[in-house]
Structure 1
Amino acid sequence: MENSRRKFLTSISMLAAYSAFPINSFDFGNSKKLRIVLVGTGVRGTSFWGKRLVGEYSDILEFVGLSDINPGRLQYGKEYMGVNCPTFVDFDEMLNTTKPDLIIVTTVDSTHHKFIIKGLEFGCDVLTEKPLTTDENKSQEILNAERKSGKNLIVGFNYRWSPYATKIKEILANNTIGKITSVDFHWYLNTYHGASYFRRWHGQKDKGGSLWVHKATHHFDLLNWWIDSDPTEVFAYGDLEHYGANGPFRGDNCRTCEFKTKCDYYYDITKDKHLMNLYVANEKHDGYIRDNCVFRKEIDIYDKMSAQIKYANNVTVNYSLTTYSPYEGWRIAFNGTEGRIEASLDIPYNKNVAVNQAEMHAREMEQTVLEKTSTESIIVHKLWKDFDTILVPIEKEGHGGGDKRLHDKIFKTASKVDPYDRSAGIRDGVMSVLIGIAARKSIETDSPIKIADLTDLKPMPKRIK
């Protein structure tokens, strides 16, 4: 049995040299389940990387340990996931006790690097929630650690795996509009989803690196993948002029605020039993407030953002992120030497439908939807010709169907060749965060930032797979 397992682990290492997804399918010939530990038992960790894996893949994996600095949240997370494994406040103790095959990191963004590096040094493969990390120095430390360890790192980018994003990739890869020359990409967070970042720890740069990193790393990864090149330079603008100290009033948190009836951003967490059990019941352990005031003065991230991004293949991108839009959605347009592609999702008046934005956000957080499938259009307009409308069957749950496809790829079919190259390794993770880090530094210095000056990774005209 042990020889079978050793041979399989060897195949994992061999595969790493050829695949952006470094870990092979975790099927140890039925001789042993994959031993997983999770560090960070917040919503994302206990649901997407916890309860969902338990429900879908228990035949091939098992959680052998959970870790968090908050003992109360740790215990509730264990119950919510439905696992029977030991829990640890001390991460090092968990590693030494459980000796896992894979570590999943879902802690506060600014601490990802600590657990990634410790895991690699311990001799484990590591899977981290996006973003990889929050600054260029931590990025370099992670790069150095992976190179020395001989182990591998996966970054959990799920948007690549949605059928809609994949169709855009397919159209571009077929040179439908010739060589891409420029891109316009605009993302809109509504006043429910957008505000949620400002009431949580994400509202402070030292924890989430700003939404340039925490949120936009998703968008930059898509751009890098679609354009199939590395970014070389970023110039950005950004400001905080809606949330934070700009608010007309503020309180300690929404539950106790005297302005409940006056504040448009009042959020009643008491209506969510799960969040009450996970966070409110455990505030006494670490002081983390889940329903914090969106107008608290310590908020120092940007709520409006715009960037110009230059790529090594000479493509230029105009990107923006708005955090207080009336609706949630995004638009993108690719200009090419032979035409133009336009795509968008969730723009309500494109289909002349009324959308309850509050319900839309709630269901996104719960990863459930009323309408599970539908079709969306992509417009392809060739020069000197009329436009064509391509209808794409899409799924509404789990980031457009990307969540389940990402999990299947990691845990079931990692060795299967993917024609769209959707798997993301360490280079993808670094290149996506470096755009956001460069944007943040550009705002602070009022100057363009060279990507090559941030780490020892050199941008390539053709993205390295």
Structure 2
Amino acid sequence: MLAASSAMPINAFAFNNAKKLKVALVGTGIRGITFWGKRLVDEYSEILKFVGLSDINPSRLEYGKKYIGAQCPTFTSFEEMVSTSKPDLIIVTTKDATHHEFIIKGLEMGCDVLTEKPLTVDEVKCQQILDAERASNKNLIVGFNYRWSPYATKIKELLSNKTIGKLVSVDFNWYLNTYHGASYFRRWHGEMKSSGSLWVHKATHHFDLLNWWINSEPNEVFAYGDLEFYGKNGAFRGGNCRNCNHKNTCDFYWDINKDEFAKKLYVDHEHEDGYIRDNCLFREDIDIYDKMSAQVKYTDNTILNYSLTTYSPFEGWRVAFNGTEGRIEAWLDIPYFENTSIDEAEKHASEMAQKLEERTSQKPIMVHKLWKDFETVQVDMEQSGHGGGDKRLHDKIFVNPEIPDPYGRTAGVRDGAMSILIGIAARKSIQSGNPIKISDLTDLSPRAKRT
């Protein structure tokens, strides 16, 4: 039995060339059909096959099947899909607030489960998942890909080698541009009940990276946040971009019908379930935060200062690690540091459609020891999906799960829980004005060291 505190075992999906892994996917939105759909068919068809696709929208489901290139039945009933197709592995890429339903059902029906991040959106659903995973004899994996990029891995290596001594504090800032950031507020992500806010949906990536880098688990969170730009703050609003009276004056106007992929995936099927992809960014229903800042105290006494900006002119991030023997600074996609000009709209469209150009380059990490001059560590980087992390994650899961990873990049249910619990605690801290103990949210007791 895989305990809830474990990561994926190295033999998680045992199969050989004589038997293809049978995969079923629930949720045929953009993440499902690209990263966990078409990419698996294109790159791994010799070792796996899709045996079922499921979605509540039958029209989008059929388009998803065609886009993925899968030769399998489709189902609007998840239970029927699982009982009929008998998959080895279920991949969950539905709306965040429903992840727990399919994770739990999948485990109970005797399947291994791989869920897209975040694990779920609140502590009650998180506890339900923990209980279900413990009661099963199956594996649950959370698809964190950021850990697998060479750049993130190099930071982990430097910290693990005690390059700057004992880690004391971390400053981490993530910037979403006015294309990517705005896209969350157009969709169901802008409603707390569906996404748990960007504290959970987006920041789970960041908190997972930080938990992994720091090699400890969060103990207490205090946060600030507010909605001051999107939603009710807009000077005007409309139904959606397509039919808005303000399309000629709104800086955020987006003609979804000119985006061929988005039109085919969403507009052509919205009559089935009423899901509108180009909602107004200033609609009254938006109730998540658009500015966020938190302080997290880790169980090993490391202090994290974190912020997330949702309407930056550029998209990128930077991090600084302070240790007893020096400091490490790292960043990606900060145009002033890289002396580059990037079309942010084109960049966002490529990332969303998983169509990034395969390019290599070198990116710096600054290491500054006390009493010494700084050193620049150059890292070979790939511009493909999430800095080369996507393909490495897929290879680990489907090709060589048995090969030990010295960096511990595989994420299990405990990793998924600890990343979302920071965001959940941040939400609760904003609402109450008090610091929140992680141990008060579920029955998991934070550890001073992850490993």
State the TM-score, normalized to the length of structure 1.
Answer: 0.95
Which residue of the partner structure matches residue 399 of structure 1? Answer: 386
1:28 corresponds to 2:31: no
Q: Which amino acid aligns with 1:159?
A: Y
Select the residue among 300, 316, 330 that pairs with 1:313.
300
Which of residues 107, 113, 120 is equivalent to 2:107?
120
Tell me, yes or no, if structure 1 residue 270 matches structure 2 residue 257: yes
Alignment of 1:427-442 (within 5 A): 427-442=414-429
Cα RMSD for the two superposed structures: 1.4
User: Is 2:10–2:403's contact at 8 Å kept on the other side of the alignment?
Assistant: no
- In structure 1, the partner of 2:356 is 369
TM alignment of 1:23-422, pairs within 5 A:
24=11, 26=13, 28-370=15-357, 372-422=359-409
1:36–1:102: 8 Å Cα contact kept in structure 2? yes
* Superimposed CA distance per residue, residues 72-105 of structure 1 (whole angstroms, 9 cap, x where no aligned partner): 1101001111112111111111111111110000
Q: Counterpart amino acid of 2:264?
A: N
What's the CA shift string for 1:344-372, capped at 9, x where partnerless? 00000112221211112112112233571
**8 A contact 1:26–1:60 mirrored in 2:** no
| Residue 387 to residue 147, structure 1, CA distance change in 2 (3 Å) | same
Deviation per CA, 1:306-329, whole angstroms, max 9, x where unpaired?
Answer: 000000000000000000011111
Deviation at 1:25, TM superposition (A): 6.7
Bigger drift between 309-318 and 78-87 goes to 78-87
Q: Which amino acid aligns with 2:387?
A: G
Cα deviation per residue 1:373-412 (whole Å; 9 max; x = unaligned)?
1111000000000000001111112000000000000001
Structure 1: segments with no counterpart, 5+ residues: 1-12
Residue 235 of structure 2: SS of its match in structure 1? coil
Q: Report the CA distance shift for 1:149/1:370 in structure 2 as closer, same or farther (over 3 A).
A: closer
Deviation of 1:257 after TM superposition, in Å, equals 0.8
Q: Displacement, 1:301? A: 0.4
Matched residue SS, 2:225? strand
Query: Does the CA-based 8 Å contact 1:338-1:382 persist in structure 2?
Result: yes
Residues 4 and 134, structure 2, Cα contact 8 Å, conserved in 1:
no
Deviation at 1:40, TM superposition (A): 0.2
Runs of at least 4 residues of structure 1 off by over 6 A?
16-19
Return the alpha-carbon distance in structure 2 between the equivalents of residues 63 and 84 of structure 1.
Answer: 7
Inter-partner Cα distance in structure 2 for 1:88 and 1:71: 8
What is the distance in 2 between the residues matched to 1:141 and 1:18?
A: 15
Q: Matches of 2:256 and 2:138 in 1, distance apart?
A: 41
Distance 1:23 1:252 in 2: 50
* CA distance, structure 2, for counterparts of residue 369 and residue 80 of structure 1: 17
For 2:263, give the aligned amino acid: M
Task: State the secondary structure of the residue aligned to 2:247.
Answer: coil
Residue identity opposite 2:34 in structure 1: S
Q: Which amino acid aligns with 1:373?
A: T
* Aligned 8 A contact 1:22 1:154 in 2: no
Helix, strand or coil for the counterpart of 1:300? coil
User: 1:23 Cα deviation (Å)?
Assistant: 6.2
Task: Answer whether contact 1:364 1:397 (CA < 8 A) is retained.
Answer: no
* 19-28 vs 343-352, which moves further: 19-28
Distance 2:329 2:297 in 1: 20
- Paired residue for 1:458? 445
**1:232 and 1:17, CA in 2 relative to 1: closer, same or farther beyond 3 A?**
closer
Distance 2:9 2:42 in 1: 24
What are the ranges of 5 or more consecutive residues in structure 2 without an aligned counterpart? none
Say whether the 8 Å CA contact 1:38–1:106 is kept in structure 2. yes
State how far apart, in whole Å, the 2-side matches of 1:304 and 1:149 are: 39
In 1: Cα distance, 2:14 partner to 2:407 partner: 24
CA contact (8 A) 2:6 2:414 kept: no
Match for 2:440: what amino acid? D
What CA distance in whole angstroms lies between the structure 1 residues aligned with 2:275 and 2:155? 40
AA at the equivalent of 1:405:
R
The answer (yes or no) to whether the contact 1:23–1:410 under 8 Å persists in 2 is: no
What amino acid does structure 1 have at the position aligned with 2:434? S
Amino acid corresponding to residue 137 of structure 1 in structure 2: V
Q: Distance in 2 between matches of 1:147 and 1:376?
A: 42
Cα distance in 1 for residues equivalent to 2:8 and 2:330: 28
| Aligned counterparts of 2:10 and 2:24: Cα–Cα separation in 1 | 16
- With normalisation by structure 2, the TM-score equals 0.98
Q: Deviations over 1:49-90 (max 9, x none)?
A: 000000011111110000000001101001111112111111
CA offset at residue 19 of structure 1?
A: 6.9
Q: Is the 8 A contact 1:25 1:411 kept in 2?
A: no
Report what 1:6 is aligned to: none
Whole-angstrom CA distance in 1 between matches of 2:105 and 2:358: 42
DSSP 3-state at the match of 1:56: helix
SS of equivalent residue, structure 1 residue 260: coil
1:242 is paired with a residue of what secondary structure?
A: coil
